[in-house]
Chain A
Amino acid sequence: MIHCKSMKAVFRILKGVSYQQGQMFVLSHFHDEKLSKFTYWKNRYKEGNQEVFEWFVDPDEIVEPILNNIAHIQAQSTMPLRYIDIGCGLSDLSLHLTIHCPRPLSAVIVDFVSEALQYQNKSYVEYQQMIQLRSESTQHLVCADVLHLPFRDGGFDVAIDKGTMDALMKDKVQGHFKSGLMMGEVIRLLIPGGRYLQISDEDPDSRLLFLENISTRKHDCDERVKDNHREATKATTNFHEQMKLNHKLSSWKFKSIQSKSGSEYFLYWAERL
């Protein structure tokens, strides 16, 4: 099987070479697969290289739709809204949400690269020095792999993913599988009535079907994939052998977000049942 695949790949490369006289040319030269690799992000978020970077939309384009979307969750409660940002990177989204949310936010910010969390901490502290944030709002920084979130079930009201699952999907071999695992984790973390919000550039025609697919399918763990994953996280992990996500999520909905640049992005969400 693998032999066939690599032969096909070689043939395609040769085809590409034969068309261009004298120029070595590979048909696919996009390095976007790197976006699924820990090493890439670790290098990118290096100290001294930490400037804000937003995927798809700027916070000011998305904060209002998000807040409107979650306004009803635990609306009667006096407790802060429990919020988790999955794969925060160098985005200021969570900071903006904390600032603009009409009620206190107890935010957990997660990334698998600790340097990203350094950035988040820096921004938060800098902002605090300018304007005192609500005392009931808190920020906890957690370095963790989204496929393995170190939290108990039902601990969050809102989960936000801006470009994280998109990054996972860049892994051509394990992307779907990993996205399924991530979906399972997020569902596990949400309390019934809680929401998973996902911001992406992918059109609803493809994304909705994909999300539905990974939200309800059973995931069997392939030994080879398990070993690869263990290597990637550099830890022996207690893996879920099978995950059955039995309709624990409402159907996925979406909202179109027109950015100032003229491009169109989407806010997807589903509710934990």
Chain B
Amino acid sequence: MSRAKTLGKLANSTLKLHKCGLPAANHCRHASTSTNLKDVMEKTIPEKQREVIEFRKKYGGSKVGEVTVDMMYGGMRGIRGLVTETSVLDPDEGIRFRGFSIPECQEKLPRAPGGEEPLPEGLFWLLLTGEIPSKEQVEAVTKEWNDRAEIPNHVITMLNNFPSKLHPMSQFSAAIAAMNSESKFAKAYAEGVHKSKYWELCYEDSMDLIAKLPTIAAIIYRNLYREGNPPDSIDKKKDWSWNYTSMLGFDEPQFVELMRLYLTIHTDHEGGNVSAHATHLVGSALSDPYLSFSAGMNGLAGPLHGLANQEVLVWTTKLQEALGGEVTDDQLRDFIWNTLKSGQVVPGYGHAVLRKTDPRYMCQREFALKHLPNDPLFKLVAQLYKVVPDILIEQGKAKNPWPNVDAHSGVLLQYYGLTEMNYYTVMFGVSRALGVLASLVWDRALGLPIERPKSFDTPGLKKLVGAS
């Protein structure tokens, strides 16, 4: 390059000085190896912002689909209306977190020392940055969460005063909302912070909130099912899942491993489901992450969203009682055949979004095969997996009759003694926080505006389409 050009370039460039005084360009080279998640985000966000701006400049007006009357009455099913970066459902491979399938995540994400299951801390790093973290990066997240885990006293008091008939999910959602007394986002917003800083504050609140969830969830569990004995305090040497299981009152190492797996696979499932969408929607009004996530949990509490794993467990247990102990494949086949013929459904099976078995089911199954192959309830679930899909195909009910994630989770929890089914959704919620809050940070980083689709009344709609 000519001297004049080089000088010209220098004159036109702007040096962005990073916090530590180094010019921004230097930091770029280290961005992916830094164990400081916030710094990595600081590097990653501008690139992504630019990408989106470029994309919208060229294709902003491109049509992506149509909206029909049925869709408007039909829960917006099939309407393409959201952008969520953290996960996408691939019909052939199942959910992909930032492009990585569950088997790929199991293979690539760091594990706890001596463990085999991925650490949720690692998945959170991936969801937030789009990159697979190193062991050191995951340890850094664990440390941060352990450091941020303290709960405000008024929330502990509130939880301890809840009546035992108040559903665990209601307690969970209420406690989360009440924790917004600690919201850095809300405080900064009230003080007039510039919107370019929103993502940082959202990040801080999200990290704080995720750190505090296991303790909240454990207090709820122990109040309801362990006579209010308070949980142990956070052990800085334990990872997030391990602290959670210890605080719940379980100490079996395999259960810790199960919890790591469980909390990893339930983190995210695209942006349209109720809990993810509600978090995103409420967050779009610049409600702080605590309020937004609490809204998401209210959605998760709905029977149509978060209760499926309970349903499956109840049905499977009833089946076990009805058939009494070990049954042959043929006996089970007859039973299921008649169930389906009589017009009933087998819960946990048959919703064809995937063209093969949900990897979230498969990894739980592999866990069970490894650790509890002789558990009677697991053997029944395994038999159902052998028998049900073929029958659904044979009866012509479905061509893709695979079990979903809920068809297995209850069995594993039961085995380790977590038998309180009303509580299962809370654990689901703890996991889901990772996905929806990672998304929330990106919502603010990309400056997504308030969400507000147009609504019609029926007469107006009729007029619009020319109906009489």
Contact = CB atoms under 8 A, between A and B. Distances in A.
A255 B77 CA distance: 10
B343 interface: yes
Given A30-B390, A32-B399, 18 more contacts: A19-B373, A21-B373, A28-B356, A28-B357, A35-B393, A56-B398, A163-B396, A201-B350, A202-B352, A203-B351, A203-B352, A204-B77, A205-B89, A253-B66, A256-B70, A260-B343, A261-B397, A263-B397
List of 9 A-B pairs having minimum Cβ-Cβ separation, nearest first: A206-B91, A19-B369, A204-B78, A166-B399, A203-B353, A201-B398, A55-B396, A202-B352, A201-B352
Interface in B373-422: 373, 386, 389-390, 393, 396-400
A31 to B, nearest CB: 7
Instruction: Say which size band chain B's interface belongs to.
Output: 20 to 34
Contacts of B357: 28
A210 B343 CA distance: 30
Instruction: Say which size band chain A's interface belongs to.
Output: 35 or more
B74 interface: yes
A170 interface: yes
A253 B389 CA distance: 28
Contact of A251 (B66, B370, B400): B66
B68 interface: yes
Given A56-B397, A166-B399, A205 B353 contact: yes
Contact of A19 (B89, B355, B370, B397): B370
A116 B218 CA distance: 61
A35 B397 contact: no
A174 to B, nearest CB: 14
Contacts of A224: none
A201 B399 contact: yes
Given A203-B351, A251-B66, A31 B399 contact: no
B389 A30 contact: yes
Contact of A263 (B350, B369, B400): B350
A29 interface: yes
A119 to B, nearest CB: 15
A185 interface: no
Contact of B343 (A166, A170, A262): A262
Contact of B78 (A28, A53, A208): A208
Task: Tell me which of A32, A163, A251 has the highest count of chain B C-beta atoms within 10 A of its own C-beta.
Answer: A32
Contacts of B355: 169, 202, 206
A20 interface: yes
A62 B386 CA distance: 31
Contacts of B398: 56, 201, 263
A261 B373 contact: no
Task: Tell me which of B344, B345, B369, B396 has the highest count of chain A C-beta atoms within 10 A of its own C-beta.
Answer: B396
Interface in A35-57: 35, 53-56
Given A260-B343, A261-B345, A262-B344, A54 B77 contact: no
Contacts, number: 88
Contacts of A205: 78, 89, 91, 353
B147 interface: no
A254 interface: yes
A63 interface: no
Contacts of B343: 260-262
B369 A55 contact: no
A251 B345 contact: no
Nearest to A25: B369
A145 to B, nearest CB: 20
A20 B369 contact: yes
A125 to B, nearest CB: 24
A143 interface: no
A169 B352 CA distance: 13
Contacts of B386: 29
A167 B366 CA distance: 29
Contacts of A169: 355, 399
B326 to A, nearest CB: 15
A24 to B, nearest CB: 13
B113 interface: no
Nearest to B370: A19
Contacts of A35: 393, 399
A253 to B, nearest CB: 6
Given A169-B355, A201-B352, A262-B344, A56 B396 contact: yes
